[in-house]
Amino acid sequence: MDIILLERIKNLGQMGDRVSVKSGYARNFLIPLKKALRVNEENIKRFENEKIKLEANNLETKKQAEKLQEKIKGKKFVLIRSASESGSLYGSVTARDIQLIMQENDITINKSQIELNSTIKELGIVTVPINLHPEVSVEIEIIVARSEEEALAQDNKKVETEEVIIQKN
């Protein structure tokens, strides 16, 4: 299916690009979320009329994302979880857990912005990328430990410490 992108989409194209994607991806994701329009005469005219407004909105959201990036940059979040002696967690840390600890610290993001390819199932320090905008991303560190003391011991192994925020389970 041929579509016109209404915003930049990673691995697909820039705003205004005409691309061909699988029809299910367009029908179930891009079009309902207003990220794209089907290519036809009416939608081409509609896009041309709204192009300036879309670019202004994109610029505004990018500025907001850059402000949030500065607020988040360098922060470390500690999640206290129960684990076995070998370091395997009895549960797991998901994108939802990361979203909740960030909300507790007045950082509002969507769960879908957290690029966690699989759940965290081991104790340790994990770097997690967060996509604030298609053109703006930031990485945070999640320290998963059994206690605050263990988290600080793990963190002391790494030299650069900005700010550590702790959430107990």
**Residue 69: how many other CB atoms lie within 10 Å:** 15
Nearest to 35 by CA among 68, 62, 12, 64: 12
pLDDT band for 169, please (50, 70, 90 cuts): low
Instruction: Specify whether the CB–CB gap between 105 and 71 falls below 8 A.
Output: no
pLDDT in tens, 25-73: 999 999 999 999 999 999 999 999 989 998 899 899 999 999 999 988 8
Which residues lie closer than 8 Å to 24 by C-beta, 6 or more apart?
Answer: none
Give the integer Cα–Cα distance in Å for 50 and 166: 45
Q: Mean pLDDT, to the nearest integer, of 140-161?
A: 77
